[in-house]
Amino acid sequence: MRVGKTLAEKILSLKSHSEAKAGDVVIADVDWAFVQDTTGPLTIRQFKESGFAALAKPQQTIIFLDHAAPSPAQQLSNDHILLRRFARETGCRIYEVGDGVCHQLVAENFANPGDIIVGADSHTVTAGALGAFATGMGSSDVAVALALGKTWFRVPESFLIELKGVFPRGVYAKDLILYLIGQIGVDGANYKALEFGGEALARMTMSQRLTIANMAVEAGAKVGLFPSDKITRDFLREHDRSDKYQPLYPDAEANYERVISVNLNQLEPMLSLPHAVDNVRPVAQAKGVKIQQAFIGTCTNGRLEDLAVAAEILKGQKRHPGTRLLIAPASRQVLIQAMKKGYIQSLLEAGATILPPGCAACLGLHQGVLGDGEVCLSTANRNFKGRMGNPEAMVYLASPATAAASAIRGEITDPREVMEGKS
């Protein structure tokens, strides 16, 4: 008897040339391997220490200079030199300062349904939106993947997240994933695959899927996988790789460890409170908390659709004088399109500071480090103590709409209040 496979089992079977079942350990072919500028230097040192000289797949190996971009410190500038030199020596691809966040660039340019992607960055899971088995690993594992073009995986058990309904006005993919993490807990899906399904997917844009897959790791998951469908096909066509499309669905009889059903119609704007991502509440419960900084960007919410939502809310408005408003487009492409559509103009007129495409303030290294006792409302994916560069500061996570509305009022605000009256 043939038992049905989950998406994770399907991809890992294909890439390990075996019948992979949850719990098995397999060796799988790696289609794309990448590092960024804070994990890359260690990866390269380990690669060289191991005695490896050549990359298994130079054209499928990518270096991104995005975390410290442009570099705020001489040591990081020297790390960039090391990474550029490695790219020249090995013939791998490299994306420069200002090109954008690694996960956004992987989605725009490389990830395809059924691919295996390993990145020395935990949010590599983002590409699961395109039906790629994409996961974060440490420097040693990526160094070995660069050299061998393979790695080992324990095939994860899967949770099915079944989505139905339509997002109400003012509620977005970010609110859904925060809600889910609140339900599952920061370690509730440790070692598991989150697989998304249900009738709501037919209306869920790639941008929304990327936001959701991006945060799968915040519930501990190894991957956050979407089936490859018409929306995937359209996205690939828009990005000049129609030929990479293949439909990919879990089998009907697939075995799920847990099924979680969510009716989108019942969701409301959500927040994650300091200092844990699963400390999730409706925005209404933290209304009125003063914020000194609002940050819209990152691999979670720095895409064109996110900037569109923020620009629509901020158009003709001004940020509160006590609140800095920082915007970092997720990639050069996003920035160019946002300029063409007039979003950047609206945001600048509202008092925003536009940061270069890249990680910007997300990891506490530069471009928006918080002061003691300050509060930031961020569209990023993490609010751990110290995350934005100061253990004495507080980070709340929310959607771009909530961040934009809160920037206007200078305090945490339900975006629906500000959107009222607007078309």
Partner 1 sequence: MPDLVLKGKAIKLGDNISTDDIIPGRFAHLRSNLSELAKHVLEDAMPGFASRVRTLSAVGAGKAILVAGKNLGLGSSREHAPVVIKMSGVGAILAKSAARIFFRNAVNQGVPVLLCDTDKISDGDELEIDVTGGKIANLTSGITLSCSKMPPIMSAILKEGGLIPYIQKHKGFNLEN
Residues that bind ligand SF4 (CB under 6 A): 67, 101-103, 121, 123, 298-299, 359, 362-363, 380-381
168-197 residues in contact with partner 1 (CB under 8 A) are 186-187, 190-191
Taking the C-alpha atoms of residue 225 and residue 143, their distance in angstroms, rounded to an integer, is 25
Beta strand residue intervals within 198-323, DSSP E: 223-225, 258-263, 270-272, 280-282, 293-297
Residue 299 binding result from partner 1, ligand SF4, none, given CB thresholds of 5 to 8 Å by partner type: ligand SF4
Taking the C-alpha atoms of residue 127 and residue 102, their distance in angstroms, rounded to an integer, is 11
> What's the closest the beta carbon of residue 363 comes to ligand SF4, in angstroms?
4
Taking the C-alpha atoms of residue 106 and residue 32, their distance in angstroms, rounded to an integer, is 9
How many CB atoms within 10 Å of residue 230?
11
Cβ closest to ligand SF4, residue 113 vs residue 302: 302
Q: Which range, of 119-127, 233-241, 251-259, 401-409, touches partner 1 by CB under 8 A?
A: 119-127
Cβ closest to partner 1, residue 6 vs residue 317: 6
How many CB atoms within 10 Å of residue 249?
13
Cβ closest to partner 1, residue 82 vs residue 94: 82
Cβ closest to ligand SF4, residue 33 vs residue 359: 359
SS3 164: strand
What type of residue sits at position 377?
L
Cβ closest to partner 1, residue 69 vs residue 418: 69
> What's the closest the beta carbon of residue 170 comes to ligand SF4, in angstroms?
24
Count of residues binding partner 1 (CB under 8 A)? 58
Q: CA torsion 299→301→303→306, rounded to 10°?
A: 180
Q: What is the CA radius of gyration of the chain?
A: 21
Contact between 111 and 213 under an 8 Å Cβ cutoff? The reply is no
Q: Which range, of 95-103, 158-166, 333-341, 383-391, touches partner 1 by CB under 8 A?
A: 383-391
What type of residue sits at position 150?
K
**Using CB under 8 A, which of 212, 365, 375, 380 touches partner 1?**
365
Cβ closest to partner 1, residue 79 vs residue 175: 79
Q: Which range, of 42-50, 84-92, 281-289, 336-344, touches partner 1 by CB under 8 A?
A: 42-50
SS3 49: helix
**Using CB under 8 A, which of 220, 329, 400, 415 touches partner 1?**
220
> What's the closest the beta carbon of residue 136 comes to ligand SF4, in angstroms?
10
Residue 380 binding result from partner 1, ligand SF4, none, given CB thresholds of 5 to 8 Å by partner type: ligand SF4
Cβ closest to partner 1, residue 67 vs residue 409: 67
Q: If binding is defined by CB under 8 A, does position 81 make contact with partner 1?
A: no
Of 363, 391, 394, give the one whose Cα is nearest residue 376.
394
**Using CB under 8 A, which of 66, 115, 141, 195 touches partner 1?**
141
How many CB atoms within 10 Å of residue 421?
6
Contact between 47 and 90 under an 8 Å Cβ cutoff? The reply is no
**Using CB under 8 A, which of 5, 10, 174, 387 touches partner 1?**
387
Taking the C-alpha atoms of residue 375 and residue 397, their distance in angstroms, rounded to an integer, is 11
Contact between 103 and 237 under an 8 Å Cβ cutoff? The reply is no
335-364 residues in contact with partner 1 (CB under 8 A) are 363-364
Q: Half-sphere exposure of residue 91, counting CA atoms within 13 Å on the CB side?
A: 7
How many CB atoms within 10 Å of residue 240?
9
> What residues line the site for partner 1 (CB under 8 A)?
25, 27, 38-39, 41-42, 46, 49-51, 67-68, 72-76, 78-79, 82, 119-122, 124, 136-141, 143-144, 147-148, 150-152, 154, 186-187, 190-191, 220, 222, 276, 363-365, 369, 382, 384-387, 389-391
